[in-house]
Amino acid sequence: MSSLSARLLVSVSVLLLVFFGVTIVVLDVAFRATSEQAQQDILDSQLMSLLAAAEPTDDGVLGMPPDLPEPRFGTIGSGLYAEITGGDSVLIWQSRSALGLELPAGNPPTGGTQEFREAVLADGTPLLTLSLAVQWEFPDGRPQPYVFKVAESLDAFHARIAKFRRQLFGWFGAIAVIMLLSIAVLLRGLLRPLRQIEAEIAAIEEGERPGLSNRYPSELQGVSRNMNLLIGSERARSDRYRVTLGNLAHSLKTPLAAIRALLAEREQPEFESRANEQIDRMDEIVRYQLRKPAMTTDSPTLARVDIETELNRLVAGLRKVHHVKSPRIEIDIDHRARLRGDVGDLDELAGNLIDNACKWCKSLVQVRVGIVAASDGHGAGMLMTVADDGPGLPADNAEALLRRGTRLDESTPGHGIGLAIVRDIAHSYGGGITIGRSSLGGAEITVTIP
């Protein structure tokens, strides 16, 4: 059963069936017990009326007047019967309603006690009987034992029970149907957000929507938010494939050009080592760029990057690259800073920033790593600032430098995509980049990674 509505309806139907079934059984037992008690109370009152009407006759026996307070005793086949027997079980008196019938005798009760018993007439009619054994004292002081018995047919009682059960099943059946219809209508309204999600996902697949809307109940807000994050992640990954291919092609231009220039010097003794150096560089570029599109920055399995170790290793390498200029590189790291992601991203991001600062500085580069609070108030991210004491960047050209391929000075070696790569990496982690002027007099570039 694939429909959630159908599953809920079936589950509710089973619960209603069990609940109503138990309720019907309880009500039936309670009604039957109450009816039986009422039946016994009626027989008890009839028996008391017989005792009140009984009088000794002139023959020295107990007799009954011709007209009794209960008219059914005088109607043949009324279903209410009475008789009086002596101590030797000899029939002394029988109501007219019992004419032609023989009430089941049973065991006589002990003196002064009542006894209810169910019995059956010869024709199969069920009866409820009440017997009372008494010692009747005549005017001469002579006591005589008598047994007063009243009996009533249970056909009417059983008919009432059957009618009650039919009404009970009818009413509960109607209530169950009404409740199921009401629940079905209610579920249709409650499950409308799920159908809306289905429709919006279909629209996203057709390219008609960029993502799911946020007009959902609080229970589905997380689903909508995570789905939009997944859609955004997939789109970002697709864009990263495209951008990475461009980065790869652009990054390989310089090594290829260097190798082409070396071909003219292949007879020189340093040709092989210099060519291998360029080939190794190309290999590193290819391996990183091909690994990068497959990475995702929002996976819970990403490991924490040791920022201090990686920055120290990176700065040590850049000091060798810029050994001629030999700038002083100062590093200040807040140990609370956190970055969960790929080590290559940190190397690419910090490497481009520090390398640019070394190219443009006079003698000093400052690298500061601080913390930035997460949007939910928990945890800490990374705030990296790279400043130099060079000529700085014009404020009106800061935004242009973030575009791929833009360079302000063509005489300086580079490809014009370094800051664009930094921006892309920061954005892939949900962060950003700002360009300003440092207190040292040169440029100051700040990258925020939540």
The pair phi, psi for residue 62, each rounded to 5°, is -90, 135
The hierarchical CATH code for the domain 4-160 is: 3.30.450
Q: Give tens-digit pLDDT for 338-352.
A: 888 888 788 888 988
Angle, CA 348 vertex, CA 251 and CA 327 arms, to 5°? 100
Identify the band that residue 34 occupies on the pLDDT scale cut at 50, 70 and 90: very high
Q: Can you name the residues that pair with 56 across neighbouring β-strands?
A: 62
Q: 91-94 and 328-333: which strand pairing?
A: unpaired
Residue predicted with more confidence, 11 or 320: 11
Please state the CATH superfamily assignment of the domain spanning residues 302-449 in this structure.
Answer: Histidine kinase-like ATPase, C-terminal domain (3.30.565.10)
What DSSP line would sit under 133-185, residue for residue? EEEEEPTTS-EEEEEEEEEEESHHHHHHHHHHHHHHHHHHHHHHHHHHHHHHH
Confidence at residue 415, expressed as pLDDT on a 0 to 100 scale: 44
Residue 266, SS3? coil
Task: Please determine, for residue 265, whether its predicted confidence score (pLDDT) is greater than 70.
Answer: no
pLDDT over 50 at 413, yes or no = no
Handedness of CA 101, 106, 108, 113 (dihedral sign): negative
Q: Is the pLDDT of residue 167 over 70?
A: yes
Q: Which helix (DSSP H) or strand (DSSP E) does residue 35 occupy?
A: helix 4-53
Kindly report, residue by residue over 274-319, the tens digit of the pLDDT.
667 667 767 766 776 666 655 555 555 567 888 899 899 888 878 8
For the segment 389-407, the average pLDDT, to the nearest whole number, is 69
What is the mean predicted confidence (pLDDT) over 250-274? 63
Q: Where are the domains of the chain?
A: 4-160, 302-449
Cβ atoms of 155 and 125 within 8 Å: the answer is yes
DSSP 297-356: TT-TTPPBP-HHHHHHHHHHHHHHHTTTT--EEEEEE-TT---BS-HHHHHHHHHHHHHH
Q: DSSP readout, 61-114? A: SEE--SS-SSGGGGSTT-SEEEEEEETTS-EEEE-GGGTT------PPPPBT-E
**What would the pLDDT profile of 71-108 be if each residue is shown by its tens digit?**
888 888 888 999 988 877 788 888 998 888 888 877 77
